[in-house]
Amino acid sequence: MTGAPPLLEVEALVAGYERGAPVVNGVSIVAKRGEIVVLLGPNGAGKSTLVKAIAGLVPVVSGRVRLAGDDITARPTHAMVSSGLAFVPQTENVFTTLTVTDNLKLAAQTLPSGQRVSRIADVHLLFPDLETQRGQAAGRLSGGQRQMLAVARALIVAPQVLMLDEPSAGLSPKVVHHLFRKLQEIRDSGVGVVLVEQNVRAALGIADRVYVLVEGRNRLEGAPGSLASDPAIAALYLGGAVAAAGESP
């Protein structure tokens, strides 16, 4: 994907929850089609705020967000899905009182009626466990199953870019491995994936490109191998967690 044009372009974005107190201070990132871009950095670096601002959930003070060349900076959150951008928040990402099937049907309501059944069938192919649990209330699923459902809901509309905020939080290493394999499959289908993660080792294992944020600003960008092999960078910005990222589990 080196020569591919940018799919998602974030340029000098400044954003925050309160006027005069930005959390994101001029961050720029690029994600290409069929690429997993991972956002890393210490707690409070602005990673989650950045993806929420891109998704229209946090006010943007200045800067630009473009999707496939289209400026979506000022677009309201509810219009992002039709623009081709899907976002999976860390929490409250499924309707716990609804069944798996009803969660998927609700996500499909934005599609033309003739496409809904086929799109639900498509996500069942990617996440076959969801089909076997289709009558189960989402609140009774395991943590891993619930996260799979959240991703499936986001994929129903066939987005160009899928953003996820710490999807591995609270999951066992085995479940994280399975989830990240699914993200690779999604990437391989041509979707651009932007991933905020604290699980540095697992994230570097699937990343095509990495951005490190510190205090709401770009600090580093590079291939995962180059960051993982630099112990000084690991110790300074990532608490040493990267040092073993290239090792086998």
The count of domains in the chain is 2
- Residue 58: closest CA among 31, 87, 84: 87
* pLDDT digits 0-9 by tens, 184-208: 999 999 999 999 998 888 999 999 9
Indicate if 80 and 105 belong to the same structural domain.
no
Q: Does 113 reside within a domain? A: yes
pLDDT bucket at 234, cuts 50 / 70 / 90? low
Indicate if 4 and 72 belong to the same structural domain.
yes
Of the residues 124, 158, 192, the one at which a domain ends: 158
Of the residues 118, 134, 158, the one at which a domain ends: 158
Provide the whole-model pTM.
0.91
**What's the chain's average pLDDT?**
90
Return the residue matching tokens 């189960």.
Answer: 136
* pLDDT digits 0-9 by tens, 70-79: 999 988 888 9
State the amino acid at position 102 in one-letter form.
Answer: D
Q: Does 101 reside within a domain? A: yes
Task: For residues 141 and 33, give the distance between their C-alpha atoms in angstroms, rounded to a whole number.
Answer: 32
Domain that residue 11 falls in = 1-84+162-239
A 10 A CB-CB count for 206 gives 19
Burial state string for 2-30 with b = 16 or more CB within 10 A and e = fewer than 16: eeeebbbbbeebbbbeeeeebbbbebebb
Of the residues 158, 173, 197, the one at which a domain ends: 158
Q: What CATH number is associated with residue 13?
A: 3.40.50.300
Is the model's pLDDT at 1 over the cut of 80?
no
Indicate if 122 and 170 belong to the same structural domain.
no
